[in-house]
Structure 1
Amino acid sequence: MTPMISKGVSEEAYDGRRRAQWLAGEARAAGVARRDMLRLLAAAGGASVLALAAPRAEATAGTRSSAPGIVKPLPSDRFTIRGTNAETKFESLSETGHRTPASHFFVRNHTSTPRLDAKTWKLKIWGDGLRDGPREFTLSDLKRLPSVSRTAFVECAGNARSFFATQQGTPVSGTPWTLGAIGNAHWRGARLSDVLRLAGVSRHAVDVLPRGLDADYVTDDGTNLGRVRRPLPLSKAMDDVILAYEMNDAPLPPDHGYPVRILAPSWVGIASIKWLGDIEVSTTPLYSPWNTDFYRLFGEAYPDEGSAPLTRQTLKSAFELPWNASLPAARTHHLTGRSWSASGAITRVDISTDEGATWHPAHLNDKPQTSSWTRWTTTWHPKTPGPTTLLARATDTTGRTQPETTVHNAQGYLFDAVVRHVVRVV
């Protein structure tokens, strides 16, 4: 059997080996027929990915006060509705603090928010990676375990996707997020590692597969992909993953995973499965549609079979300012924004108010932390009326700085280039 992966093995190396095992037929496609998985994987590298990555549920639907399957209110001054999803308007965050309130937190739903009863909810841990068979945990069981708290962002892998087309002239498929598919909250829950140990995880286990309790996801061509699920290598599961039951010191709201969700800090949002129902523990690598045809990089810069499944998010910055905002000339404006990185803490944010001709550092308002954003402030005294472009460029503790452009991929993931924020001085 495959030995347990140690924390010293890199995510990239492990995912590369898992991909090779899948292609060689040595891994399992959990919950979907292998013939369908191979068809989807082949489609993801070609033109038909457009139909798979942009299903009905992700069509842009303009701005309105509700969305199919979302429970909480979605006032138009806070959200842009995108099918079954709701994107936060970044300017609305200027009235909030470091944490994103649930009232402003974006919603990414593949289907619709289920209404679950915490009193009857149970988490089933099962699979051949356990020593003694399946084990169930109630919410009360989880709350009796030592709790851990973490302030961290959850960000969709496709956040900022629309800029591939609008800035780089390279259209992509999927929900056309701007920068609001992210929220930063204080999470509390049980360590997944503690639960796996209690369940009797074997030394031969290599993958865990959390699965949600939302409805089955069906593509436009009628393929039923089952419930949303995505495997984690055991090294990640035993490291910093939380079974979160609180968000900002309150029970999780329905749209954000009630009663329990996965929180996988720094990783793409799909890894933080909402409405957790069961976790398979496996001695062989596991795959699902959410790390074969979705959430991998396809395109001219990548192998025909795509990149390794996406793990860490990337580096971004955003102004807390409406798009095409009108700002009076001959006045001092206090511009605010936020920058974040999944690989390190933010060390510097540089601002340009003249379309990149000159740059100056912004003031950082928070103690920078990995997996959590940093708010910043700068002043600007424009003199000449007319259109101009504001730029914010972040650098993190790994030494990485946002680039001018992002390498194109067909599904528009991990856009990290400096965003051109157009305003008008009046």
Structure 2
Amino acid sequence: MRIATAAILKPLPAHLFRVHGENAEMRWEAMSGQGYHTPIDRFFVRNHTGTPLIDAATWRLRLHGPGLRCPRAFGYDELRAMPSRTYDVAIECAGNGRRFYGSQQHDAAPGTQWGLGGIGVARWRGVPLRHLLKEAGVRPEAVDVLPSGLDAPFEDYGHVRRPLPIAKAMDDVLVAYEMNGEPLPPDHGFPARLVVPGWVGIASIKWLGDIEVSTSTMTSPWNTVFYPDVTTQPVKSAFELPWNARLAISGVPLVLHGRSWSGQGRIIRVEVSFDGGDTWRAAELHGSHLVSAWSQWHVTWAPRRPGRYVLMARATDETGATQPLVIPRHPFGYHFNAVVQHPVEVVLG
């Protein structure tokens, strides 16, 4: 079933990505002028080992365990023939923003030093996981599901796998086989992957091959050794600008664009500061405001003189959660959601 493995298969041009070993971070300027969805050619890649090439003709998704009455295996064509759903969902690495613990708060955390580009929003099409679980006769006493990937085992920990509570699995989780209207590319989970709205990216297992359903609580290295205390994603914001961007002024106000997101609910407000947080101005939200995706926004700015400035954006979601100016250091560098200080240089146009 697994034919070959490479670190990352798709091109990683320097103007679209920063490469961190086997991972590729999207540059936020790559989203400038784009629509709501992140194009596949600039969607970030987070791999534990490498991207496998899997033969869909022999691929099977196996559902088994004591939480099921009639274990099943589904083939690729069978999956695609089932009633489908389409969701716009963000997938975000739990370590997205990790480098700001060190560069901004001077308390560095270990791990890949992601900026804010470990996120992307795609239009995913597939079969709700609850449909497959019902087909396999999920029992009322089922507690957890444990999806596993078909990529190569990671060190001595085995295949990437992380349990989900049955309530989440039966809610909005998708077994996706399309991304932005195309079959999943290999780097993003072909032939099928989980998409778990609102949760950290590790829950959205790629190259899905096995789902165990239990009648007791399950664990794996990916919720004990790694990612032990992270589930839903906090509220964050990013400007669609290069780091240290040069912005030319010529008597016309600048229009700055950005995006904000939260795994907990819709974004209801975004504010931007140009003076280090002394004053804040409301940005204008536009386009879709979807739960578990992101909101686009823009704000005008007329700097009075050339020089170096720091841009800051903070968002609030419908639960009332707002980005803080400082956040306590997470020992693994997860969930950095403090307001990011984005440096720019204003020059005469």
Determine if the TM-score, normalized by the shorter chain, exceeds 0.5: yes
Aligned length: 342
8 Å CA contact 2:288–2:296 kept in 1: the answer is: no
| Matches for 1:393-412 after TM superposition, within 5 Å | 393-412=314-333
Match 1:234 to one of 166, 177, 186: 166
| Matches for 1:347-362 after TM superposition, within 5 Å | 347-362=268-283
| Matches for 1:406-421 after TM superposition, within 5 Å | 406-421=327-342
**Paired position in structure 1 for 2:93:** 156
Deviation track 1:280-301 (CA, whole Å, cap 9, x = no partner) reads: 11111111110001113xxxxx
Cα distance, 1:181 vs structure 2:
0.2
| Matches for 1:99-118 after TM superposition, within 5 Å | 99-118=37-56
Residue 267 (1) aligns with residue 199 (2):
yes
Deviation track 1:356-412 (CA, whole Å, cap 9, x = no partner) reads: 121111111223111111111111111222211000011111111111111211111
Secondary structure of the 1:376 match is strand
- In the alignment, the residues of structure 2 paired with residue 82 and residue 264 of structure 1 have an alpha-carbon distance, to the nearest angstrom, of 24
| Matches for 1:22-171 after TM superposition, within 5 Å | 69-132=7-70, 134-171=71-108
| Matches for 1:234-383 after TM superposition, within 5 Å | 234-296=166-228, 309-331=229-251, 332-383=253-304
Cα distance, 1:120 vs structure 2:
1.3
AA at the equivalent of 1:406: I
Deviation track 1:66-98 (CA, whole Å, cap 9, x = no partner) reads: xx6101111110000000000000011013210
The TM-score normalised by the length of structure 2 is 0.96
- In the alignment, the residues of structure 2 paired with residue 146 and residue 389 of structure 1 have an alpha-carbon distance, to the nearest angstrom, of 49
8 Å CA contact 1:129–1:281 kept in 2: the answer is: yes
- In the alignment, the residues of structure 1 paired with residue 274 and residue 57 of structure 2 have an alpha-carbon distance, to the nearest angstrom, of 54
- In the alignment, the residues of structure 2 paired with residue 136 and residue 334 of structure 1 have an alpha-carbon distance, to the nearest angstrom, of 52
- In the alignment, the residues of structure 1 paired with residue 93 and residue 277 of structure 2 have an alpha-carbon distance, to the nearest angstrom, of 28
Deviation track 1:143-201 (CA, whole Å, cap 9, x = no partner) reads: 22211110010000110011111111111011100000000000110010010111111
After superposing the two structures, state which structure 1 stretch, 185-194 or 320-329, moved more. Answer: 320-329
AA at the equivalent of 1:178: G
- In the alignment, the residues of structure 2 paired with residue 274 and residue 95 of structure 1 have an alpha-carbon distance, to the nearest angstrom, of 29
Secondary structure of the 2:206 match is coil
- In the alignment, the residues of structure 1 paired with residue 74 and residue 293 of structure 2 have an alpha-carbon distance, to the nearest angstrom, of 30
Q: Which runs of 5+ in 1 are unaligned?
A: 1-67, 219-223, 297-308
- In the alignment, the residues of structure 2 paired with residue 158 and residue 423 of structure 1 have an alpha-carbon distance, to the nearest angstrom, of 24
8 Å CA contact 2:246–2:344 kept in 1: the answer is: yes
Secondary structure of the 1:141 match is helix
- In the alignment, the residues of structure 1 paired with residue 101 and residue 269 of structure 2 have an alpha-carbon distance, to the nearest angstrom, of 25
After superposing the two structures, state which structure 1 stretch, 360-369 or 266-275, moved more. Answer: 360-369
- In the alignment, the residues of structure 2 paired with residue 128 and residue 143 of structure 1 have an alpha-carbon distance, to the nearest angstrom, of 26
Q: CA RMSD in A?
A: 1.3
Q: Which runs of 5+ in 2 are unaligned?
A: 1-5
- In the alignment, the residues of structure 2 paired with residue 109 and residue 76 of structure 1 have an alpha-carbon distance, to the nearest angstrom, of 19
Cα distance, 1:203 vs structure 2:
1.7
**Paired position in structure 2 for 1:217:** 154
8 Å CA contact 1:150–1:187 kept in 2: the answer is: yes
Secondary structure of the 1:184 match is strand
Cα distance, 1:330 vs structure 2:
4.6
Higher percent of residues as strand: 2
Secondary structure of the 1:103 match is helix
Cα distance, 1:329 vs structure 2:
4.1
8 Å CA contact 1:329–1:383 kept in 2: the answer is: no
Match 1:195 to one of 94, 113, 132: 132
**Paired position in structure 2 for 1:389:** 310
The TM-score normalised by the length of structure 1 is 0.79
8 Å CA contact 1:330–1:382 kept in 2: the answer is: no
**Paired position in structure 1 for 2:3:** none
**Paired position in structure 2 for 1:5:** none
AA at the equivalent of 2:106: G
AA at the equivalent of 1:263: V
Higher percent of residues as helix: 1
- In the alignment, the residues of structure 1 paired with residue 189 and residue 36 of structure 2 have an alpha-carbon distance, to the nearest angstrom, of 21
AA at the equivalent of 1:122: R
- In the alignment, the residues of structure 1 paired with residue 144 and residue 219 of structure 2 have an alpha-carbon distance, to the nearest angstrom, of 9
After superposing the two structures, state which structure 1 stretch, 169-178 or 196-205, moved more. Answer: 196-205
After superposing the two structures, state which structure 1 stretch, 369-378 or 103-112, moved more. Answer: 369-378
8 Å CA contact 2:18–2:27 kept in 1: the answer is: yes
- In the alignment, the residues of structure 2 paired with residue 293 and residue 187 of structure 1 have an alpha-carbon distance, to the nearest angstrom, of 30
8 Å CA contact 1:330–1:381 kept in 2: the answer is: no
